[in-house]
Structure 1
Amino acid sequence: MNTREYDASASYKSINWNVVEDMVDKLTWEKLTSQFWLDTRMVPSNDKADWSKLTDAEKTLYNKVFGGLTMLDTLQGEDGNAEIMKDARTQHEIAVLTNIQFMEQVHAKSYSTIFSTLCSPAEISEIFRWTEENEYLQYKGHRIREIYLNGTPLQKKATSVMLESFLFYSGFYTPLRYMGNGKMVNVAEIIRLILRDESVHGTYIGYKFRVGLEELPEDEQQEVIDWVYDLLLDLYRNESRYTEELYDEIGWTESVKVFLKYNANKALMNLGLDPFFSETVEDVDPIVMNGISTTTSNMDFFSSVGNGYLLSDVEAMKDEDYAY
């Protein structure tokens, strides 16, 4: 039920950040604004030399994973957060979700910045044609959007966390692996900024899910939990096939699936639920983890020098990032 239905008899209230009902809203707002960034200050053109050395199969993989990520960020920016916002409890929660919604659009635009730097117009058109025709991308897009439009508030939040903390990672794997090997580092720097945002998005919305879940009777809680695990398995089956289509030719499929299972468990942790898969960080390819944890160099925000971001350095992901 929408807890903020319109009441014509009530006074319209201005948001008051000096009186905050849930301090997690304030802390998340401060975290998100402190790490604000824009793709226009990044320099993927510095990777042109590396790009020219990639095989055609590697370039195709790069383009497809970024095309898929663009679609998911578009879904989050246009539908996901807008639908979750309808069930917000407070004005501060709306403010945070609005920030998240905007950054999802920044993420989607960032991939276009990468495409325009490395690809021809014809290649870019082919990338977007492929996303519209790929059965696995379209399946998860329609599956998720249907829940956003017709699901309960808790189902919407759980689905968002699955997307933010799990489904993105089949795409993130590629740039992180190359970065772990010291290649395509400027493109990967953008991905690490996106990844840092998604970590906060997943933990925040997961927290809101836990708050709502705890208010339900025990039997209703179990129904919601069972629904989440069913959704996880359905999404993983589809994501596994998507991964095979992307990575079989290059030989990384099994490694990507391990990474997916590890992050699926992280998504469940964000929701306050027990891990489903046995994979842990020790099972993930250390080159990929190295790509996540590599320290960025600073850049001058105004002159776009370097491959870091002066406003707020990229931070390594830690387990504590996934829970307040």
Structure 2
Amino acid sequence: MSQTLTKVKILEPINPNKSTALFGGKASGILNWNDIAYPHFYTHREQIRALFWRASEVDMTQDTKQFSTLSEEEQNAFLKIIGLLATLDGPQTDIAGRISNLSTDPSVKSIMATIADQESEHNHSYAYVLSSVATLHKQNESFETGRKDEVLLKRNERIMEVYNEFSENPTIANLLKAMVYTTLLEGLFFYSGFAFFYNLARNQKMVGTSTMISYINRDELQHGRFISDLFRATLAENPEYNTAEFTDWVYDQFRHSVEQETIWSKYVLAGIDGIDLLEMEGYIKYRANKMLRLLGLSDIYEGYTDNPMKWIRAYVDNFDDTKTDFFEQKSRQYTKTSDLNGFDEL
């Protein structure tokens, strides 16, 4: 039976400042960045903190004028994709807080607090964008997409199941599963939507919105790096969960997610000038392979090691690629992501 986690006490001076485990360990609650269990987490902290921005800083003047000139297909896709992004980012603020509450490592709590704040700003940005281009009725309709659109509801079924199971039954096993889905959200589920806005921008349309999306994209890359690193470290500390069954479960979730993301992209991007749906499917598989490597696993889509949508590189940041046989490592052999070789674009 998997270990059940409970909320950590805020201050417990009898315990050491350096945590004895990421989850289910002991720590005083006092955070000394010069004495933490995983020193490279400080680098994650600095990289994430460096990304501070506010939605209100983005000038939406031209977008306000341009929205009505978009084709009907572009306007519909715009509103549906904003609805998708809001549906995914809203729970991310909550899940970051829940992971933080269960962690016995104060550095993790600090980083997750920053991630939660940024996810909250992402959600605010969607309302900010819509208020600039659509009536209140259309704005509300867009935010209802995640509750009413049958394709999107089907797409999000497993996310909902895994997150809610973690909420109701916070075991180590469910925590690991929730972190897998967090990396899927940060590194795969947003990307057909991001591509839509970048495609508009390369045609000099809705550049303000694209700028906002690029800020969100940049944040998500860093969040994905940290959560995948936290996942790897947690699994290393709890090797009893490092089983063939769990590995197969992770691969199954990625296959299912790629299938659902592909269905969604064909549904929402059909008829959009400049978007090749076959190319988009390849990009989704490429993204899945990259996120699997971040988790320490192998590619599952042969031939998708290079980005098939070369034009998108102008709109997204780069970061380290990773691949190790992590699922075969023991805790003392844990290797931080930043030490792994390889560097290429998302």
Asked if these proteins are the same fold (TM beyond 0.5), I'd say yes
Q: Does 1:229 align with 2:251?
A: yes
Root mean square deviation of aligned Cα? 2.5
- TM-score w.r.t. length of structure 2: 0.78
263-272 vs 45-54, greater mean Cα deviation: 45-54
Deviation at 1:213? 2.4
Q: CA distance change for structure 1 residues 216 and 16 in 2, over 3 Å: closer, same or farther?
A: closer
Q: How many residues align?
A: 300
Deviation at 1:144, TM superposition (A): 1.5
Post-superposition offset of 1:25: 2.1
**Residue in structure 2 matching 1:115, options 126, 130, 142:** 130
The corresponding residue for 2:197 is: 175
| Structural mapping, 1:81-100, within 5 Å | 81-100=96-115
Kept in 1: contact 2:97–2:116 (CA 8 A): yes
Tell me: CA distance 1:7–1:39, structure 2 relative to 1, closer, same or farther (3 Å). closer
Q: Which residue of 1 aligns with 2:164?
A: 149
Query: Does residue 135 of the first structure (1) align with residue 147 of the second (2)?
Result: no
How far, CA to CA, are the matches of 1:216 and 1:15 in structure 2? Answer: 23
How far apart are 1:244 and its partner, in Å? 1.8
CA 1:7 to 1:118, structure 2 compared with 1: closer, same or farther past 3 Å?
A: closer
Which structure is richer in relative contact order (CA contacts within 8 A, separation 6 or more)?
Answer: 1
TM-aligned CA deviation for residue 235 of structure 1: 1.8
Can you give the 5+ residue segments of structure 1 that lack an aligned partner in the other structure?
293-315
Hey, what's the Cα distance between the residues in 1 that align with 2:321 and 2:290?
10
For the pair 1:284 / 2:284, whether they are aligned, the reply is no
Partner of residue 213 from structure 1, selected from 212, 215, 235: 235
More helix by share: 1
Deviations 1:256-298 (A, max 9, x none): 2222111111211221111212354645223323333xxxxxx
Measure the CA separation in 1 of the matches of 2:185 and 2:284.
Answer: 11
Q: Quick check: 1:77–1:101 contact (8 Å CA) kept in 2?
A: yes
Unaligned runs of 5+ in 2: 15-27, 167-173, 324-336, 339-346
Secondary structure of the 1:116 match is helix
Q: Assess, with a 3 A threshold, how the Cα gap between structure 1 residues 186 and 281 changes in structure 2: closer, same or farther.
A: farther
Letter in 1 for 2:209: V
- Answer yes or no: is 1:163 the counterpart of 2:185: yes
Q: 1:46 to 1:7 in 2, by over 3 A?
A: closer
Distance 1:34 1:226 in 2: 36
Q: What letter is aligned with 1:59? A: Q
Is the alpha carbon distance of 1:25 and 1:89 closer, same or farther for their aligned partners in structure 2, counting shifts above 3 Å? Answer: farther
Question: Are the aligned partners of 1:162 and 1:267 in contact in 2 as well (CA < 8 Å)?
Answer: yes
Q: Which moved more, 1:33-42 or 1:215-224?
A: 215-224
1:301 alignment partner in structure 2? none
Give the SS at the match of 1:272. coil
State how far apart, in whole Å, the 2-side matches of 1:255 and 1:71 are. Answer: 25
- Over the matched positions of the two proteins, sequence identity in percent amounts to 25
Q: Distance in 1 between the 2:290 and 2:256 partners?
A: 17
- Residue 32 of structure 1 corresponds to which residue in structure 2? 48
Contact 1:161–1:267 under 8 Å retained in 2: yes
